[in-house]
């Protein structure tokens, strides 16, 4: 990592896992990107070198290979949008025009037969993904869920674009809320169900505690990404939002202090996730058990992919993981948009760890 920016072993209680067909999945995703000519030639070759198929193979280590393939192609497509349109592209500085283009893409996802954006390659790629989602057995309700999740991702990148144009830095609470969606984590969840051949009861999936668990997973995946991608984003020469930047800006602290704070935050949320998931499992349906397993695979998969992918180039100074947290805490973070997650501690009757840290 950069000169004085050092992350020690990160807390991660889950075991690494990888689909046995990961090499084939990764190769096919590279072929898919080339066939659909996703992004500029430069972006495409960078994406093809990033082992995105391996990422999907880590998210669905025991899932259907055809769904892992769909997920891999979809994640590559998402990077095509996030890098190509939002972060490096012209639309990323025009929130209104970005909203219009993303709304057309949303319609293509929902109705691939609609003759919208007929010559656009990202639209053609999305059409293929949408058709495959249905062909692989995705139900109308799962498809609607996927389209809705894309909509919340799109809404958050428009929010992000406004900050990019204005050159402003959101508050930590606003950043957290926006980041729950602009990491494109929620769009992956319908594929976790499809990948294991079940449909979670909507009342179980949207149960307040279960939704809190999914959101905690999004938080950890995005905070970890902010740690892994900090160098890439700081070096890019572009305005990029990242929790390190947000903390530095609002707390007036150094990069090292911001980094330590971000690590403390992701530790606290991941510990809360692990403890709450353990408690929720006691009364969970078989489908919910699988869903919780998949959330853990997603968290761990994002970590193992993040520290090894050429995209972040951390290879020379890899970050290690440890299943032990030295000072576990169930005290809430002071972040208004997500502090309610800690209400689960009493709701689920969790016992607090004996030694609480003295500082917050
Ligand atoms: C957003 O974060 C990255 C997503 C839009 C790319 C697609 C990834 C997923 C669907 C799975 C979630 C994985 C993550 C968040 C790595 P950002 O900071 O723009 O990603 P970057 O790679 O540029 O740091
Ligand atoms: Mg982004
Ligand atoms: Mg990015
Ligand atoms: Mg960039
Ligand atoms: Mg990032
Ligand atoms: Mg497992």
Look up the ipTM and state it. 0.93
For residue range 230-239, what is the model confidence (pLDDT) as tens digits?
999 999 988 8
Per-residue model confidence (pLDDT) at position 150: 98
Atom of ligand 1 nearest to the CA of 74: 10
| Structural tokens at position 138 | 């995705």
Give the start-to-end residue ranges of the domains of the chain. Answer: 10-347
pLDDT tops 70 at residue 359: no
Cα–Cα distance, 321 to 334 (Å, whole number): 26
List Cβ<8 Å contacts ≥24 apart for 213-217. 213/273, 213/276, 213/277, 213/280, 213/292, 213/295, 214/186, 214/189, 214/295, 215/180, 215/338, 215/341, 216/269, 216/270, 216/272, 216/273, 216/276, 216/341, 217/185, 217/273, 217/295, 217/296, 217/298, 217/299
Q: For residue 322, report the phi and psi dihedrals to the nearest 5 degrees.
A: -135, 135
Per-residue model confidence (pLDDT) at position 256: 95
- State the distance from the centre of ligand 3 to the C-alpha of 82, rounded, in angstroms: 6
pLDDT class for 356, splitting at 50, 70, 90? low
Report how far apart, in Å, the C-alpha atoms of 57 and of each of 14, 36, 63, 71 are.
16, 21, 9, 9
Beta-carbon contacts of residue 40 (< 8 Å; ≥ 6 apart): 84
- State the distance from the centre of ligand 3 to the C-alpha of 88, rounded, in angstroms: 9
Q: What is the mean pLDDT of the chain?
A: 95
pLDDT class for 354, splitting at 50, 70, 90? confident
Q: Mean pLDDT, to the nearest integer, of 105-124?
A: 98
Q: How many CB atoms lie within 10 A of CB 216?
A: 25
For residue range 308-342, what is the model confidence (pLDDT) as tens digits?
999 999 977 778 999 999 999 999 999 999 999 99
pLDDT tops 70 at residue 155: yes
Cα–Cα distance, 72 to 65 (Å, whole number): 10
Q: Mean pLDDT, to the nearest integer, of 132-153?
A: 98
Residue nearest to atom 11 of ligand 1 (CA): 185
The sign of the dihedral angle between the CA atoms of 11, 239, 154, 102 is: negative
pLDDT class for 3, splitting at 50, 70, 90? very low
- State the distance from the centre of ligand 1 to the C-alpha of 183, rounded, in angstroms: 5
Report how far apart, in Å, the C-alpha atoms of 171 and of each of 57, 147, 177, 231, 336 are.
35, 28, 10, 22, 10
pLDDT class for 174, splitting at 50, 70, 90? very high
pLDDT tops 50 at residue 2: no
Q: How many CB atoms lie within 10 A of CB 317?
A: 13
Residue 305's SS3 state is helix
For residue range 28-71, what is the model confidence (pLDDT) as tens digits?
999 999 999 999 999 999 999 999 999 999 999 999 999 999 99
Bridge partners of residue 11, in order along the sequence: 322
| Structural tokens at position 154 | 């799109």
pLDDT class for 357, splitting at 50, 70, 90? low
pLDDT tops 60 at residue 188: yes
In CATH, what number does 10-347 get?
A: 1.10.600.10
Q: How many CB atoms lie within 10 A of CB 16?
A: 13
- State the distance from the centre of ligand 4 to the C-alpha of 238, rounded, in angstroms: 7
- Tokens 């070096």 locate to 235
Q: Tell me the CA end-to-end span of the chain in Å, nearest whole number.
A: 26
Residues with CB under 6 A from ligand 1: 75, 78-79, 82, 183-185, 187-188, 221-222, 225, 229, 302, 311
Give the number of the ligand closest to the Cα of residue 306. 1
For residue range 250-297, what is the model confidence (pLDDT) as tens digits?
999 999 999 999 999 999 999 999 999 999 999 999 999 999 999 999
Q: Mean pLDDT, to the nearest integer, of 10-32?
A: 98
Q: Mean pLDDT, to the nearest integer, of 181-201?
A: 98
| Structural tokens at position 331 | 């005290």
Q: How many CA atoms lie within 13 A of 244 on its CB side?
A: 22
Per-residue model confidence (pLDDT) at position 172: 98
% pLDDT > 70, the chain: 96
pLDDT tops 60 at residue 156: yes
Cα–Cα distance, 120 to 43 (Å, whole number): 16
Per-residue model confidence (pLDDT) at position 297: 98
Q: Mean pLDDT, to the nearest integer, of 236-244?
A: 91
Residue 102: name the closest of 43, 147, 37 by CA.
147
Atom of ligand 1 nearest to the CA of 306: 16
Cα–Cα distance, 211 to 332 (Å, whole number): 17
């Amino acid at each position: 990592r950069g000169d004085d920016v050092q992350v020690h072993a990160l807390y991660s209680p889950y075991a690494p896992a990888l689909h046995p067909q990961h090499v084939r999945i990764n190769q096919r995703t590279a072929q898919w990107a080339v066939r659909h000519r996703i992004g500029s030639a430069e972006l495409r070759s960078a994406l093809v070198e990033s082992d995105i198929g391996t990422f999907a193979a880590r998210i669905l280590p025991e899932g259907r290979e055809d769904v892992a393939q769909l997920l891999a192609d979809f994640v590559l497509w998402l990077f095509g949008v996030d890098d190509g349109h939002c972060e490096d592209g012209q639309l990323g500085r025009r929130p209104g025009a970005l909203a219009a283009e993303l709304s057309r893409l949303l319609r293509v996802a929902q109705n691939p037969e609609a003759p919208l954006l007929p010559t656009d390659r990202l639209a053609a790629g999305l059409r293929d993904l949408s058709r495959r989602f249905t062909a692989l057995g995705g139900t109308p309700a799962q498809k609607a869920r996927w389209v809705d999740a894309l909509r919340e991702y799109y809404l958050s990148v428009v929010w992000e674009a406004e900050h990019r144009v204005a050159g402003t830095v959101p508050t930590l609470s606003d950043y957290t809320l926006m980041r729950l969606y602009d990491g494109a984590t929620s769009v992956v969840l319908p594929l976790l169900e499809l990948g294991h051949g079940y449909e979670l009861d909507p009342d179980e999936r949207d149960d307040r505690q279960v939704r809190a668990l999914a959101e905690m997973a999004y938080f950890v995946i995005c905070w970890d990404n902010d740690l892994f991608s900090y160098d890439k984003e700081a070096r890019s020469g572009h305005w990029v939002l990242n929790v390190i930047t947000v903390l530095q800006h609002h707390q007036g602290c150094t990069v090292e202090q911001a980094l330590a704070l971000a690590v403390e935050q992701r530790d606290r949320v991941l510990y809360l996730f692990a403890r709450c998931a353990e408690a929720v499992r006691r009364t969970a349906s078989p489908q919910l058990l699988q869903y919780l397993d998949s959330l853990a695979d997603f968290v761990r998969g994002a970590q193992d992919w993040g520290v090894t992918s050429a995209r972040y180039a951390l290879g020379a100074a890899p970050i290690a993981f440890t299943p032990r947290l030295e000072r576990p805490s169930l005290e809430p973070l002071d972040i208004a948009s997500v502090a309610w997650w800690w209400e689960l501690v009493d709701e689920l009757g969790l016992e607090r760890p004996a030694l609480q840290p003295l500082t917050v």
